[in-house]
Amino acid sequence: MVQGPIRFDGRTILITGAGRGLGRAQALLLGSRGAQVVVADNGTAMDGGDASRGPAESVVAEIKAAGGQAAVCTADLATEAGADEAVQTCLRAFGRIDGIVHYASTCPDLATADQLPTRDFELVIRVNAFAGLWMARAAWPHMAAQGYGRIVYVTSGGAYGSLGGTTYSTAKASVIGLMRCLAIEGVGQGILINAIAPSAHTRMTDRFEPSAYADWFFKTMEPEKVAPAVAWLASEECDVHGEIFAIGGGRVARITIAENEGAIGSGASIEEMRDLIPRVMGDQRFFFPRDLAERSGKVAALFGFDGSLGSSSGFAVRPIDRD
């Protein structure tokens, strides 16, 4: 069967952080494929200061000059009102919202735990996880009503951990939990949600220490090589949800959350933990649960019990008894 090009005619997609780097490449690509693009970027520096309308307005001008449709949003996504405003901009400008690609982030200077400024930690968490939730919450009723939506969150290889990266890594790792829960809630309503861990030469990676690796990275990992894969995740043809993909330089790979089968003891002493650790660390029998219900069932089976905490279609715990 011959398949035609993937297009986004009539679809409105909100792209955050779209004034530069990855977001800009994404906005230009989707605009060229017929999407009505809302370029959301308040133009701040990497530490969250010096806001400017310039970057977002420049990208909107580029899209329009090429014959596309675009609108500007320079609200501060680190606030609930700003995140809501980004969604409202889509509705005012184009009357609908079909997708969100949340690239916006910030990365203040790296610092060890004893030197970590609270302001930096809060800012990065708010721009990544809080804004991601706020925008999804605002867009959800509209996507659910039309039975269609696509959301792509941006995590990072930084979630694996790095020296001085506590702020950024924590924020990006939290995005994974956000995505996995919303993906379960959205799939039955036609709202498919995934995450990517991109590799690209951006303002953030431009701060790499000089090295042969940095030279290779800058030549290989162009932002434009991330945008096509993300565009597929934001398209009608996407049929996956709850997944994490590493994307960069033309490479696409699946990132999974895994747990080994481990070792079962009596749980009766500290010394038993000491004795079990070599077996646990050496166990290569991994399983890959898609959600908590699947994980609880697998663990129960290891104990010889046939059952699980619940299903993906119901809450796992009862509401709090307030009487």
Catalogue the active-site residues.
168
Query: How many other C-beta atoms are found inside a 10 Å radius of the C-beta of residue 53?
Result: 13
| Look-up of token digits 């991994």 | 286
| Rg from Cα positions in the chain | 21
Sign of CA dihedral 301, 245, 79, 46: positive
**Beta-strand (E) ranges in the chain?**
12-16, 36-40, 69-73, 99-102, 149-154, 191-198, 244-248, 251-255, 259-260, 286-287
Render the burial of 15-29: b for 16+ CB within 10 Å, e for the rest.
bbbbbbbbbbbbbbb
Distance from chain centroid for Cα 118: 23
